[in-house]
Amino acid sequence: MALQTEIARYFANENSQSSLRDAFSRRSAVMPFRGRQRVPDDEIQSRWSLLLTQDALPKKRLVYVHVPFCANHCLFCGFYRNAYVPDAGASYVDLIIGEIEKEASAAAVRERPVHAVYIGGGTPTALRADELFRLLCAIKTRLPLAADCEITVEGRIIHFDPEKIDACLEAGANRFSIGVQSFDTDVRRRQGRRSSRQEAITFLENLGGRDRAAVVIDLIYGLPGQTLDIWQQDLETATALGADGIDLYGLNVIPGTPLFTALAAGKFSDASELRQLGDFYLAGDRLMQRKNWRRLSNNHWGRTTRERNLYNLLIKEGADCLAYGAGAGGTLGAYSYGLTGELERYGEQVRAGGKPIAMLTVSDSLQQARDAVTAGFEVGRLDLRSLDAITGQEISLIFSPLLGQWQKAGLLTVADGIVELTVAGRFWYGNLISAFQSILNDRLHPSQDAA
Ligand SMILES: C[S@@+](CC[C@H](N)C(=O)[O-])C[C@H]1O[C@@H](n2cnc3c(N)ncnc32)[C@H](O)[C@@H]1O
Ligand code: SF4
């Protein structure tokens, strides 16, 4: 296909009244497995053992621990895996600690400092206080955490009682990422979030009032019943609570979720359309600017110097990430891996002394360029010269016609080799990343299909 035609596939709609509303017909997600080849299943264990003996590359290093339990399945969520049953927590934590201990002395693990730890889910705060304490202590004592390591525990309001908060703080957590989604009681309850607006506010006031760790609030815009007015109130409430950071996520209606099924069945007649999400994003961006919050990425703002958002920024830059727990995913050098999400299988494999890897892939020579594109667009600023330096080619020339078209469509500006996204470009950044990555692949690896 001629280059011009090929690139024209990624052009934005130039004729719309509002690029925030109509630049593209759908929002694209970034494909994490682009350019990766699968390692055959019967070679995974031997390849992993060998990897552990090798010195780590001089890259930033992260740890991700997955806790796949939830009190209930919130309608919008694609992360739900297992209902939380109190007795399951202790043995699950034992398994993760076993997994960590097994590889703690390996060269690939012990020789580089860990800059950020993320205990995510599911709902880590569903675990009991003693379980959270044991898990965090094992991470702190067994893994080479940097002295200024960011240690995040993800959670939700319900069941996250003061005893659990104290346990996390005592064991070294210094950041809590709390999923609030919306403060509006009706909007919340329609998505399966049982606590009320007032309960959410009281919880966050108490958590922030301790002043011992960064508090980050996750909000979603575009939920059924959440009008622009309700969204403005959500933003006002969240920013008034003294949080250190705020995430603003556009609702993604994920196939297979209860929300997807409900929408298909015609429930929630007041659900937002994709075109309206841009208006919500604009309202969020304006309010955060007006309140003087620093934009740390397209979806994340920080208020205090305590908030660094390290884990999320470094993962986008392609940092190494050691993964533990059923369903966790990680990266070590050129290899990426996903641990089995089936709890029983996970337990069997850890008890048998193996690494419970379900999929191992190896990336190609373009990975560094892909990471630079993702990391740049993620923060709304891409240095084209860095791409040329990484690829050893004047790769930025390939993108000139596309960047020119996107500029006309109001998505970005380009000056001195630096691409700066507009607010519309930041809303559609997933589409921009996907287009760049497809073109990189087609131009530099024309014969290679993505794994
Ligand atoms: C891995 S989830 C865990 C959240 C936590 N367990 C809770 O219940 O709040 C992390 C964040 O992803 C966001 N999220 C989850 N599903 C989403 C969706 N369908 N669209 C947009 N954001 C979503 C939510 O803001 C959520 O807080
Ligand atoms: S939003 Fe949180 S608690 Fe609800 S299903 Fe998703 S991961 Fe579980």
Cα of 185 from ligand 1 centre, angstroms: 17
- Cα–Cα nearest to 220, from 257, 202, 247, 185: 247
Cα of 90 from ligand 1 centre, angstroms: 25
Cα of 400 from ligand 2 centre, angstroms: 41
Instruction: Locate the ligand 2 atom nearest the alpha carbon of residue 181 and give its number.
Output: 1
Partnered with residue 363 across adjacent β-strands are: 36
| Widest pairwise Cα distance in the chain | 63
d(CA 205, CA 209): 6
437 exposed, middle or buried (CB, 10 Å; 0-12, 13-18, 19+)? Answer: buried
- The amino acid that residue 109 corresponds to is V
For 4-47, write each residue's pLDDT tens digit: 668 999 999 988 889 999 999 999 877 766 778 999 999 999 99
d(CA 83, CA 435): 38
Residue nearest to atom 10 of ligand 1 (CA): 179
Q: How far is CA 202 from CA 212, 248, 435, in A?
A: 17, 21, 44
Cα of 210 from ligand 1 centre, angstroms: 25
Q: Which ligand is nearest to the CA of 191?
A: 2
Cα of 71 from ligand 2 centre, angstroms: 8
Q: Which pLDDT belongs to residue 451?
A: 40
Instruction: Locate the ligand 1 atom nearest the alpha carbon of residue 121 and give its number.
Output: 1
Cα of 177 from ligand 1 centre, angstroms: 11
Mapped onto helix, strand or coil, the DSSP state of residue 176 is strand
- Cα–Cα nearest to 58, from 248, 251, 319, 307: 319
How do strand 335-339 and strand 329-332 relate by DSSP bridges?
Answer: antiparallel
Cβ < 6 Å from ligand 2: which residues?
70, 73-74, 77, 79-80, 121-123, 156, 179
Instruction: Locate the ligand 2 atom nearest the alpha carbon of residue 78 and give its number.
Output: 6
Residue nearest to atom 4 of ligand 2 (CA): 74
Instruction: Locate the ligand 1 atom nearest the alpha carbon of residue 181 and give its number.
Output: 25
Instruction: Locate the ligand 1 atom nearest the alpha carbon of residue 254 and give its number.
Output: 19
How do strand 357-363 and strand 335-339 relate by DSSP bridges?
Answer: antiparallel
The segments of the chain whose pLDDT lies below 70 read 1-5, 32-33, 446-451
> To test the ligand 2 pocket, which listed residue (79, 254, 259) has its Cβ within 8 A of the most ligand atoms?
79
Residue nearest to atom 2 of ligand 2 (CA): 122
Instruction: Give the distance, in angstroms, between the CA of residue 119 and the centroid of all CA atoms in the same chain.
Output: 12
Cα of 160 from ligand 1 centre, angstroms: 16
d(CA 143, CA 119): 14
Cα of 312 from ligand 1 centre, angstroms: 14
Q: Which pLDDT belongs to residue 3?
A: 62
Q: Which pLDDT belongs to residue 109?
A: 96
Q: What is the CATH number of domain 36-316?
A: 3.20.20.70
- The amino acid that residue 179 corresponds to is G
Instruction: Give the distance, in angstroms, between the CA of residue 410 and the centroid of all CA atoms in the same chain.
Output: 26
Residue nearest to atom 9 of ligand 1 (CA): 179
324 exposed, middle or buried (CB, 10 Å; 0-12, 13-18, 19+)? Answer: buried
Cβ < 6 Å from ligand 1: which residues?
76-79, 120-121, 123, 154, 156, 179, 181, 218, 220, 249, 251-252, 254
Q: Which pLDDT belongs to residue 301?
A: 98
Instruction: Locate the ligand 1 atom nearest the alpha carbon of residue 122 and give its number.
Output: 6
- Cα–Cα nearest to 52, from 100, 12, 93: 100
pTM, two decimals, is 0.96
CA dihedral angle for residue 441, residue 442, residue 444, residue 446, rounded to 10 degrees: 120
- Cα–Cα nearest to 155, from 207, 197, 103, 99: 207
81 exposed, middle or buried (CB, 10 Å; 0-12, 13-18, 19+)? Answer: middle
d(CA 28, CA 180): 25
Token pair for 188: 């919340």
How do strand 69-70 and strand 82-83 relate by DSSP bridges?
Answer: parallel
Q: Which pLDDT belongs to residue 190?
A: 94
- Cα–Cα nearest to 322, from 79, 149, 65: 65
Query: Quick check: 324 and 66 in contact, CB under 8 A?
Result: yes
Mapped onto helix, strand or coil, the DSSP state of residue 139 is helix
Q: What are phi and psi of 10, to 5 degrees?
A: -100, 5
Token pair for 287: 């309010």
> To test the ligand 1 pocket, which listed residue (249, 253, 280) has its Cβ within 8 A of the most ligand atoms?
249
Cα of 254 from ligand 1 centre, angstroms: 12
Query: Domain coordinates of the chain in residue numbers?
Result: 36-316, 366-444
Whole-angstrom Cα Rg for the chain:
22
What's the CATH class of domain 366-444? Answer: mainly alpha
For 115-152, write each residue's pLDDT tens digit: 999 999 999 999 999 999 999 999 999 999 999 999 99
Angle between the N-to-C axes of helices 86-103 and 343-351, in degrees from 0 to 180, rounded to the nearest 10: 40
- The amino acid that residue 101 corresponds to is E
Three-class secondary structure assignment of 296-314: EECCEEECCCCCCCHHHHH
177 exposed, middle or buried (CB, 10 Å; 0-12, 13-18, 19+)? Answer: buried
Cα of 119 from ligand 2 centre, angstroms: 14
> To test the ligand 2 pocket, which listed residue (67, 69, 154, 156) has its Cβ within 8 A of the most ligand atoms?
156
d(CA 23, CA 409): 7
Domain 366-444 in the same topology as domain 36-316: no
- The amino acid that residue 262 corresponds to is A
